[in-house]
Chain A
Amino acid sequence: MSAEDPIDHPILVKLRDRFAEDVKAVHAWRGDLTAEVAPARLVEICLWLRDDAALAFDYLVDVTAVDYLGSTPRFELVYHMKSLTHGHRLRIKAKVSEDDARIPSVVSVWRGADWLERETWDLYGIRFEGHPDLRRIYLYEEFVGHPLRKDYPKERRQPLVTRADLDTPEVRRQEERDRARYGRWH
């Protein structure tokens, strides 16, 4: 990443002053303020970014991941945020490795992270620890793999989900309840 823009923006300076070595790298390429932080302190940093009056990042714009297949650590989580009070934006990144693909959830900081984290889990297979309801969001539960990983081939076909696959105790109980309520052929 080239460092053609100055990185002494007050927000980045403030972040580095507060969290010192846990802010691992910063850049402001093309004017986008970016800071890479230690995943272990992510929630603490996000909470501070949201609650500090001068920063006030009250609006979580987006959560996603990038798969840098071949480099270690392999995945990079990307959080875009904005302050509706002050109008500034910030991108926070955190790296996680392939064998330990998990990161603390920021749902406790911004409620909007709920679905965004579910999507990242669905498509990249990164676990968000402390997420209240980490289910797949786009794909179905029987889907094998996480399609936005770079080693997932675009042409791969998924096995058909048969009736037998759905024959779980939970589904059976639900069917019995439905039958009792609506009759056999509801």
Chain B
Amino acid sequence: MRDTDAGTKDLALSDELHGEPLEIQMGPSHPATHGTVRISLKLDGERIVDCDIQVGYLHRGYEKECESGEWSQAVPYTDRLNYASPMINNVGFCLAAEKLFGITVPPRGQYIRTIASEISRLSDHFTCLGASAMELAAMTPFLYGVQAREHMWDLHEALCGARVTTNYVRIGGLQSDLPPGFVELCREKLRLALAIFADVDRLLTQNPIFRERMEGTGKLPAADLIAYGVTGPVLRAAGVGYDIRKAEPYLVYDQLDFDVPVGTTGDNYDRYLVRVEEVKQSARIIEQCLDNLPDGPVDVDDPRFRWPAKGKVFNRMEELIDQFKLVTEGMRPPAGEVYQAVEGANGELGFYLVSNGTGKPWKCRCRAPSFSNTHAMRDMVRGALLADIVPTFDMINMIGGECDR
């Protein structure tokens, strides 16, 4: 399992023995993959001669739906892209829209967005690491991972009332300020989740069976990963420290102290270790944001984007008109195009927005990290064993919602 080079040599030898490789289908709904994907395999014994990865089973026409609504109506669709880390998608879309509109959210709003993003990153990593263990036949870490994730989703719930489909971040601000007692709740939930996660770490990191499956599998040189457009923990595990939070800081990441873990060998075990370390770094970021949370408004003070306070709407003429116009006409950006990227849990999550100056988006493109990462998987598993698909696919962490859009 470890030595894929030797595997390729075996392949040439055994080709002469029996000519035709066995074709089998893995998926679209396979119990050992978390994600709906079909992998058409050509096998020689247990060796993968070639594979064709077919995505699209979760294609819901995200862009088409966005184009038929107003700008603000596109936000709920974004948290359905990566439902393991919905807040990062909300933040990414809203930052892109704000770049288009030319507005900046006040500091408190930016801090809360940073906290929300990191909560989502934690929930994504907990899901990924737990599910990976389950698919390698270790059920216990999965249950722990989900339990840790539940604490993160409790925080989502405290912020916006929903656990998965958050729609918390809005163009020009947030749905609402932090609820009372959130800072204490967040510290407590973070403590609980990290305590559970420490158990996952203890169960897996030095586990010989787990390491046997992860070490040396799914490797691809950094140059190939870049050629495929792979980003996120998979690229960082291969030694390329590209993290948009550091490379092109957005929100308040440039004011925070955190490290970007990078691996050396780029195998699945390194990808696992990078994610484990990122969990700790995300916790650090949240702690710093909670400590330095400034006071003040969370929304831009501009009636073109955020509704005026209800008391004013009911009692004053101007504010009533502002709200009426915002509801009936929507936000009107200038004509133009922007691209804004944020660091998603699996890599570069970008939004390319095109406006023709009306209240409806002309185009809302999402550059999904899972799409490019899944694309590269073919080269990662060719020549490897059939069983190596499972840990590799786990560490790619393809999220059907964003991959298939």
Contacts and interface: CB of A to CB of B under 8 A. Distances in A.
A114 B200 CA distance: 37
Interface stretch (B5-13, B74-82, B291-299, B348-356): B348-356
Summarize B's interface: helix, strand, loop or mixed.
mixed
Contacts of B14: none
Interface in B212-257: 224, 226-230, 240, 242, 247-248
A20 interface: no
A139 B56 contact: yes
Given A138-B56, A138-B404, A61 B336 contact: no
A32 B339 contact: yes
A119 B230 CA distance: 17
Interface stretch (B61-69, B164-172, B184-192): B61-69
Contacts of A80: 339, 350, 352, 367
B332 interface: no
B372 interface: yes
A148 B59 CA distance: 13
A1 B229 contact: no
A96 to B, nearest CB: 16
Contact of B337 (A32, A58, A62, A137): A32
A90 to B, nearest CB: 10
B371 interface: yes
**Which bucket holds chain B's interface residue count?**
35 or more
B352 A78 contact: yes
B63 A148 contact: yes
A123 B226 CA distance: 25
A110 B230 CA distance: 12
Nearest to B376: A112
Given A111-B227, A115-B372, A30 B336 contact: yes
Contact of B365 (A58, A64, A115, A137): A64
Contacts of A1: 335-337
A110 B227 contact: yes
B379 to A, nearest CB: 9
Contacts of A119: 371
A89 interface: yes
Contacts of A154: 61, 64-65, 68
14 contacts: A1-B335, A61-B229, A61-B341, A64-B363, A80-B339, A110-B227, A111-B227, A112-B375, A115-B371, A116-B229, A116-B371, A137-B54, A138-B405, A154-B68
Given A1-B335, A154-B64, 9 more contacts: A34-B337, A61-B348, A62-B367, A64-B352, A80-B352, A115-B375, A116-B371, A123-B63, A138-B404
